[in-house]
Chain A
Amino acid sequence: MSSVRLLVGTKKGAFVLTSDGQRKKWDISGPHFAGWEIYHVKGSPTDPNRLYASQTSGWFGQMIQRSDDGGATWQPVGNKFTYDGITGTHQWYDGTAHPWEFKRVWHIEPSLTDPDTVYAGVEDAALFRSTDAGNTWHELSGLRGHGSGSQWQPGAGGMGLHTIVLDPANPQRIFIAISAAGAFRSDDAGETWKPINRGLKSAYIPSPEAEVGHCVHRIAMHPSRPNTLFMQKHWDVMRSDDAGENWREVSGNLPTDFGFPIDVHAHEPETIYVVPIKSDGEHYPPDGKLRVYRSRTGGDEWEPLTNGLPQSDCYVNVLREAMDVDSLDSCGVYFGTTGGQVYASADSGDSWNTVVRDLPAVLSVEVQTLA
């Protein structure tokens, strides 16, 4: 019988939540790495027992942990992230040149084909790859070396590379996104990169045609349609049907188009999910109502999903890594909040249950659908 495993990263440790295919009763293990910030935990698509976790601390730096038994036990692996070649500078908040400084790993993306190959998106923005199961890391410096690199500026949360999307149909193609530089694509397995931000409009950028400087929050893709991308930007929900060459807004009737996560239904490539947040200055749902919005038309037309979610006095946020879907026949949708709740829907979002209510602030949620 199928089962589901949620990998939850929080401000004070990692938690592993498991359930059978009914997704009604959950076993919770953790906290793993108690007291450490766990930015992201993700499993290998080819070996679900191989997990990688980004364990980080403002005091004690960055660790990478690896599990080979589905999260029961962990071992620390390589944590040396050294920028390749001349470090160079990016723009600081005051517009001055600031040298690149490694701070933490925001996102881990295991290879689609090899459990020993894994990518890491880091702050200050760069992409690293390991081909030995996380023991050593090497920068794909063509990204940071892109001609626009010296113009990149951090967002309020830092200049993190937070999104890595691997194209299942083309192993040479990788999409990434950086706050607040924008989205980039490589067509040669990470050697060289191009900005893919045409059509994005950001009110705070003087030039509407700016090649970089856009605060992309998250990009999602359905594996059956790798040329179609959905984006939650600082403001605006966007869509591209040509692998990021051009974007158009699909915010439609959303109550607000600010937000962080975006995800795609496992079996319906035109069904997408976002969690609208009131504004960039008020990181909580409008009207104190926690509502996931679903579009079955690839954007533009949205419906609120509220059954089982708090509809009064709710002022949590849902961070960019904190939503995912499973691939069971009836698609499960999951998200975690800064209030420590993890919510699950076993029916594509029609109804929701609280998996756990009082974890530390949730930073990331990844789902593994197990045979």
Chain B
Amino acid sequence: MIRVILPAHLRLLAKMEEELHVDVVGVVTQRKVIDAIEERYPVLRGTIRDQVTQKRRPFVRFFACEQDLSHEDPDTPLPDAVASAAEPYMIVGAVAGG
């Protein structure tokens, strides 16, 4: 099980209250986690990454274990603490706009 924390706007959109839990088979990567999120909540397609290019939206950031993973290759394994559910994988709306 992977623990995922989404920003408030996306929780509202997906009608979820708290932390999201998804299951990923095999090596845990950002791509697999987001695939699992979108499969569970199709309404989130296009809100985290572009629907066509699959690239992260510019003002969305990915964090885990106090690391900024936004620029990591989406197929790079996530930290063990995320894979073991000790730490959440956080999708964050970038601070922008003053």
A residues apposed to B, CB below 8 Å: 33-36, 57-63, 76, 79-80, 82
- CB B97 to nearest CB in A, in angstroms, measures 8
- CB B43 to nearest CB in A, in angstroms, measures 5
Give the secondary structure class of B's interface: loop
Which B residues are in CB contact (< 8 Å) with A34? Answer: 12
B12→A61 contact, CB < 8 A = no
Q: How far apart are the CA atoms of A82 and B47 in the complex, in Å?
A: 15
Given contacts A79-B46, A80-B51, A82-B52, contact A59 B12 (CB under 8 A): no
Flag B34-59 by CB within 8 Å of A: 1 or 0 each. Answer: 00000000010111100110000101
A58→B59 contact, CB < 8 A = yes
> Can you list 20 contacts pairing A with B, beta carbon distance less than 8 Å?
A33-B12, A35-B9, A58-B59, A58-B96, A59-B7, A59-B9, A59-B60, A59-B94, A59-B96, A60-B48, A60-B57, A60-B60, A61-B57, A62-B46, A63-B43, A63-B47, A79-B51, A80-B45, A82-B51, A82-B52
Q: How far apart are the CA atoms of A34 and B96 in the complex, in Å?
A: 18
A59→B51 contact, CB < 8 A = no
Q: How far apart are the CA atoms of A76 and B14 in the complex, in Å?
A: 10
A59→B93 contact, CB < 8 A = yes
Given contacts A58-B96, A59-B93, A60-B57, contact A36 B47 (CB under 8 A): no
A60→B52 contact, CB < 8 A = no
Q: Within residues 17 to 34 of chain B, which ones have a CB less than 8 A from any CB in chain A?
A: none
Q: How far apart are the CA atoms of A57 and B94 in the complex, in Å?
A: 12
Q: How far apart are the CA atoms of A336 and B57 in the complex, in Å?
A: 32
Give the secondary structure class of A's interface: loop
**How many positions in chain B have a CB within 8 Å of any CB in the partner chain?**
20
Q: Does B10 contact A (CB under 8 A)?
A: yes
Among A57, A60, A79, max chain B CB count under 10 A is at: A60
Flag B2-17 by CB within 8 Å of A: 1 or 0 each. Answer: 0000011110110000
- CB B88 to nearest CB in A, in angstroms, measures 19
B residues apposed to A, CB below 8 Å: 7-10, 12-13, 43, 45-48, 51-52, 57, 59-60, 93-94, 96-97
- CB B8 to nearest CB in A, in angstroms, measures 7
A61→B46 contact, CB < 8 A = yes
A80→B9 contact, CB < 8 A = no
Which A residues are in CB contact (< 8 Å) with B9? Answer: 35-36, 57, 59-60
B8→A35 contact, CB < 8 A = yes
A60→B93 contact, CB < 8 A = yes
Which B residues are in CB contact (< 8 Å) with A62? Answer: 46
Which partner residue on chain B sits nearest A36 by CB separation? B9
Which partner residue on chain B sits nearest A80 by CB separation? B51
Q: A57-B47, A58-B59, A59-B7 are in contact. List 18 more A-B contacts (CB 8 A).
A: A33-B13, A35-B8, A36-B12, A58-B96, A59-B9, A59-B57, A59-B60, A59-B96, A60-B9, A60-B47, A60-B48, A60-B57, A60-B60, A61-B46, A61-B47, A63-B43, A79-B51, A80-B46
Q: Which 5 A-B pairs have the closest CB atoms?
A: A60-B47, A59-B59, A59-B93, A76-B43, A61-B46
- CB B92 to nearest CB in A, in angstroms, measures 10
Q: How far apart are the CA atoms of A35 and B96 in the complex, in Å?
A: 15
Which A residues are in CB contact (< 8 Å) with B94? Answer: 59
Which A residues are in CB contact (< 8 Å) with B47? Answer: 57, 60-61, 63
- CB A81 to nearest CB in B, in angstroms, measures 9
A63→B60 contact, CB < 8 A = no
Which partner residue on chain B sits nearest A60 by CB separation? B47
- CB A61 to nearest CB in B, in angstroms, measures 5
Q: How far apart are the CA atoms of A58 and B60 in the complex, in Å?
A: 10
Which A residues are in CB contact (< 8 Å) with B46? Answer: 61-62, 79-80
- CB A18 to nearest CB in B, in angstroms, measures 24
Among A34, A61, A80, max chain B CB count under 10 A is at: A61
- CB B73 to nearest CB in A, in angstroms, measures 22
B12→A35 contact, CB < 8 A = yes
- CB A49 to nearest CB in B, in angstroms, measures 22
Given contacts A60-B47, A60-B57, A61-B47, contact A76 B13 (CB under 8 A): yes
- CB A248 to nearest CB in B, in angstroms, measures 42
Which partner residue on chain A sits nearest B94 by CB separation? A59
- CB A121 to nearest CB in B, in angstroms, measures 19
Which B residues are in CB contact (< 8 Å) with A82? Answer: 51-52
Q: How far apart are the CA atoms of A62 and B13 in the complex, in Å?
A: 12
